[in-house]
Each structure stands twice: as structure tokens, then as C-alpha cells.
Amino acid sequence: MTTLLRMPDVIATTALARQTLYRDMRRGLFPRPVKLGRASAWPSDAVDAVIAARVAGKTDDEIRALVADLQRQRAVAA
């Protein structure tokens, strides 16, 4: 089951700083959050997929493709 993670949870899960997460989003290396009114959150399955790709040693280009696919799937599901 997918849960939604707020920023403090994403930071704790990824061990990345807030600035690094935003930089990676700009570079296409981390998915953008889902807007929930004024709040934002990340689907846990998307965060887990990016972490798994990093652990597997995927290149930045491979992770960009993964993130693009995750965002595409999110758009289709909406």
C-alpha cells in the first residue's frame, strides 16, 4: 500500500538534506511531490523506487528515466 510522505519523512528515509532533494527534483533525479491543497507529499513507492535505483548503482540518466516514468504513471492514474 502506498502512503504519502511529508518532507520530514522523506528526509529521514533518504538521508538527504532538503536542499539536495530540491536540487535533485530540478535535475530530474527525484520525483516532484503531490500537491494536497497547501501541503505537499511524496508517494512512498516513488521514494522507495529512487532509493532502490541508487542502491543498485543506476546512472543519473537511468534514474531520470525512472523518475520520468513514475511521474507519467502518476499522471495516467489521475
| Set of cell numbers at residue 50 | 529512487
**Residue extents of the structural domains in the chain:** 4-77
Tens digit of pLDDT at every position of the chain (78 positions): 789 999 999 999 999 999 999 999 999 999 999 999 999 999 999 999 999 999 999 999 999 999 999 999 999 987
| DSSP state, residue 10 | H
Block residue for cell numbers 502518476: 74
| Set of cell numbers at residue 30 | 527525484
61 touches 28 (CB < 8 A): no
pTM comes to 0.92
CATH code assigned to 4-77: 1.10.1660
The rounded distance, in Å, linking the Cα atoms of 29 and 44 is 16
The rounded distance, in Å, linking the Cα atoms of 66 and 8 is 23
